[in-house]
Amino acid sequence: MTAPTLPGATAVTAFTVNGAPVELRSPGGRRLLDVLRYDLGLTGTKEGCGEGECGACSVLLDGDVVNSCLIPVAQVAGHAVRTVEGLADDGRLGTLQSAFLETGGAQCGICTPGMLMAAEAFIASGAPATDEAIREAIAGNLCRCTGYTKIIEAIALAAGAAGSGLPGAAPGEVRRAEAPAWAGPEVVQPGSLSEALELRAARPGLRPIAGGTDLMVMVAAGTLARDVPLLDCWSLAELRGIAIEGDELVVGALTTYAELRRSPVVAGALPALAQAAATVGAAQIQARGTIGGNIANASPAGDMLPVLLATDASIVVASIRGERRVPAAVFWTAYRETACAPDELVAAVRIPLPPGRQVRFRKIGTRRAQAISKVVMAVAWRTDGAPGAPGDAGASPVAGSPWHDVRVALGSVAEVPLRAPATEALLEGATPSAELAEQAAAAVMGDIRPIDDVRSTAAYRRAVTGRVLRRIVLDALG
Ligand SMILES: Cc1cc2nc3c(=O)[nH]c(=O)nc-3n(C[C@H](O)[C@H](O)[C@H](O)COP(=O)(O)OP(=O)(O)OC[C@H]3O[C@@H](n4cnc5c(N)ncnc54)[C@H](O)[C@@H]3O)c2cc1C
Ligand code: FES
Ligand code: FES
């Protein structure tokens, strides 16, 4: 095992900002946002919420739009950061900035740098600049005074103009900066999975961090003590990748929501997984949030978890003792508790692909983006004689045939994500009908144990859970 990098207060992180090289002496857990604003004086990047919700701190990281308030600077080592200052073209406003001026897309301006960076990433993606696509691209950026119409107009205008890409920046001299004495947690960066597992065994106090979209919020809120050192998993190549192996879909723990959404393998084998990924947060969260983080975070509202329960997935966990597979059905053991031992890491998820299986996913939140679910549901079943082979999700349900191997899985309706046993028993072997849809709706309301909280009441959650399942059964009628 080679010595891991132990950043602490004396570590140097090298990366580029707007094309210019930077070397920063700082604890690796210092937020990229603070490095940009306070250590490098790039105050164009703003802080609003400090917890991933508002997008004011958006920058580009290797071209992806991300929230700089959620990124420990150690994770940008060797990467390219672009800030709003980098949009200017030789000291003049760039095409996108000019479009915002022309259409009146900015008033107080607090959201504008973040909006510009989200817009820049969208335009660079080459996606058609439809109203809906632009709305989705900026869904992680809140504007409280201009109103979105003018902003959308500006982005459409810039997308249609030639040369709206970022201007190239001359490398220039290396900029050296130093952070204040306490500036963030220590980040330990292993070079391989085996090093990470040895560290996990030797230093149980190290807290794994993947995309940081949950963990950095905890650091900011003080719910994670600020002296807890972090074990950086983000660059462990062994935990990346999406593949079909035999009759299983295998997804590495570090796979992001953005990767799930654009994977042709997922689209072919299990579109419900991509559909679930598309409902998480907004572009900034999808670029960094991982499926392994969702699994290990064990929130009852984790959007991926019902899909994993409904598809009989296994969670692969790894330690220096080896790998083991834990069925999703027994992985989430209590509120925010998992079957993962203290020396283990979530390595992957393996999802069986039985022929002819159908999977439906629904999420109910207050709005389409950045909404933690009030209820999230995945339903899987197989019908006799349905066509399809492992990895073929194109098989259409055989209307009028009985359902088999029925799984009804739910999130946000109990202290853990759960399956609905009485509902599954009712639907098993039954043929969809209007009457069955009513019975299933009543059964599922009895299977759950929702609570009142800030997002919803128990009564609403119960009623909407019944309605969502009724609709899924009715839709299967054709
Ligand atoms: C604005 C905002 C919106 C969000 N919207 C949604 C949403 O709509 N739906 C939803 O489900 N979630 C949402 N989240 C939560 C979060 O984005 C997801 O749970 C995400 O999947 C976490 O992944 P991560 O890689 O960022 O995890 P991290 O924050 O890095 O880690 C999360 C937890 O998992 C542990 N961990 C991470 N990786 C591993 C591993 N491989 N092995 C063992 N332990 C590990 C960490 O120690 C930590 O306890 C949102 C978060 C924010 C800030
Ligand atoms: S400051 Fe609001 S998302 Fe970062
Ligand atoms: S311009 Fe004021 S918040 Fe958007």
What pLDDT is stored for residue 226 in this prediction? 82
Helix (H, G, I), strand (E, B) or coil at 229: coil
In this predicted model, which residue has the larger pLDDT, 273 or 457?
Answer: 273
Interval between CA 223 and ligand 3 midpoint (Å):
30
What pLDDT is stored for residue 452 in this prediction? 79
Nearest ligand 2 atom to alpha carbon 68: 4
- Residues 6 or more apart in contact with residue 410 via CB below 8 angstroms: 306, 375, 376, 377, 417, 418, 419, 420, 444, 447, 448, 465
Lowest-pLDDT range of 219-223, 392-396, 403-407: 392-396
Mean pLDDT of 196-220: 96
**Helical (H) or strand (E) element with 468:** helix 458-476
The length of the chain in residues reads: 478
Interval between CA 40 and ligand 1 midpoint (Å):
28
User: Is any ligand 3 atom within 6 A of the Cβ of residue 109?
Assistant: yes
Helix (H, G, I), strand (E, B) or coil at 272: helix
User: Is any ligand 3 atom within 6 A of the Cβ of residue 203?
Assistant: no
User: Is any ligand 2 atom within 6 A of the Cβ of residue 39?
Assistant: no
Mean confidence (pLDDT) of the chain: 91
Ligand with an atom nearest the CA of residue 113: 3
pLDDT band at residue 370 under the 50/70/90 scheme = low
Pocket test for ligand 3, best of 107, 141, 151 (most atoms within 8 A of CB): 107
pLDDT, one tens digit per residue, over 94-137 is: 999 999 999 999 999 999 999 999 999 999 999 999 999 999 99
> Which of 209, 188, 404, 207 lies closest to 293, judged by CA?
209
User: Is any ligand 2 atom within 6 A of the Cβ of residue 50?
Assistant: yes
3-state secondary structure 109-178: CCCHHHHHHHHHHHHHHCCCCCHHHHHHHCCCCCCCCCCHHHHHHHHHHHHHCCCCCCCCCCCCCCEEEE
0.85 cut: is pTM over it?
A: yes
What pLDDT is stored for residue 181 in this prediction? 64
What pLDDT is stored for residue 47 in this prediction? 97
Mean pLDDT of 348-362: 96
pLDDT at 330 over 90: yes
User: Is any ligand 1 atom within 6 A of the Cβ of residue 211?
Assistant: yes
DSSP assignments along 211-226, one per residue: S-TTHHHHHHHTSS-T
Interval between CA 16 and ligand 2 midpoint (Å):
21
Cβ-contact 114, 169 below 8 angstroms: no
Mean pLDDT of 288-307: 97
Interval between CA 141 and ligand 2 midpoint (Å):
9
Interval between CA 210 and ligand 1 midpoint (Å):
8
Q: Which residue CA neighbors atom 5 of ligand 1 most closely?
A: 281
Residue 96, phi-psi category: left (phi > 0), alpha (psi -120 to 50), beta (remainder): alpha
Pocket test for ligand 2, best of 49, 59, 217 (most atoms within 8 A of CB): 49
Q: Is the dihedral of CA 455, 456, 461, 462 positive or negative?
A: positive
How many Å apart are CA 123 and CA 112, to the nearest integer? Answer: 16
pLDDT at 5 over 80: no
The amino acid occupying position 252 is G
User: Is any ligand 1 atom within 6 A of the Cβ of residue 208?
Assistant: yes
Interval between CA 249 and ligand 1 midpoint (Å):
21
User: Is any ligand 3 atom within 6 A of the Cβ of residue 107?
Assistant: yes
**Helical (H) or strand (E) element with 248:** strand 248-252
pLDDT at 239 over 90: yes
